[in-house]
Amino acid sequence: MIGRLNHVAIAVPDLDAACARYRDALGANVGAPQEEPDHGVTAVFIELPNTKIELLHPLGENSPIAGFLEKNPSGGMHHVCYEVEDILAARDQLKAAGARVLGSGEPKIGAHGKPVLFLHPKDFNGCLIELEQA
């Protein structure tokens, strides 16, 4: 079921500073900020040869990233995203195996314009997992 690693997401307290650090210190190709109101984040994707890094910054008062940054003021790894061929079939298989899908359980459209779901971190060794339909 699980496919390739799509991206690793890092919550950052200062999006401009984080973008500059990746661009200037690491020589990375840093994309433009994308506001994602349905997810409460502003996202910037950094393209790598084999995957992406997603920098996340809170968008709005109810952003889940704001709560994460309260607990981790310097930022840190927020989630990993894996691709799946059929997100509904993956959801149903995971639920049957006892995994908890966050939210309503229905996919939302993510930053790449594709359906996404999140899986509870307590079910995956403390790691929040995002599934994105390939």
| CATH number of the domain within which 39 lies | 3.10.180.10
- Is the pTM higher than 0.85? The answer reads yes
DSSP 5-28: EEEEEEE-S-HHHHHHIIIIIH--
Q: Is 18 buried (19+), middle (13-18) or exposed (0-12) by CB count in 10 A? A: buried
Digit-by-digit pLDDT tens for the chain (134 residues) are: 999 999 999 999 999 999 999 999 999 999 999 999 989 999 999 999 999 999 999 998 889 999 999 999 999 999 999 999 999 999 999 999 999 999 999 999 999 999 999 999 999 999 999 999 99
Q: Which domain holds residue 22?
A: 2-133
Domain count, the chain: 1
Rounded CA-CA distance 131/53 in Å is: 15
Active site residue 83: no
Active-site entry in 35, 61, 70, 130: 130
Q: d(Cα 104, Cα 85) in Å, to the nearest integer?
A: 21
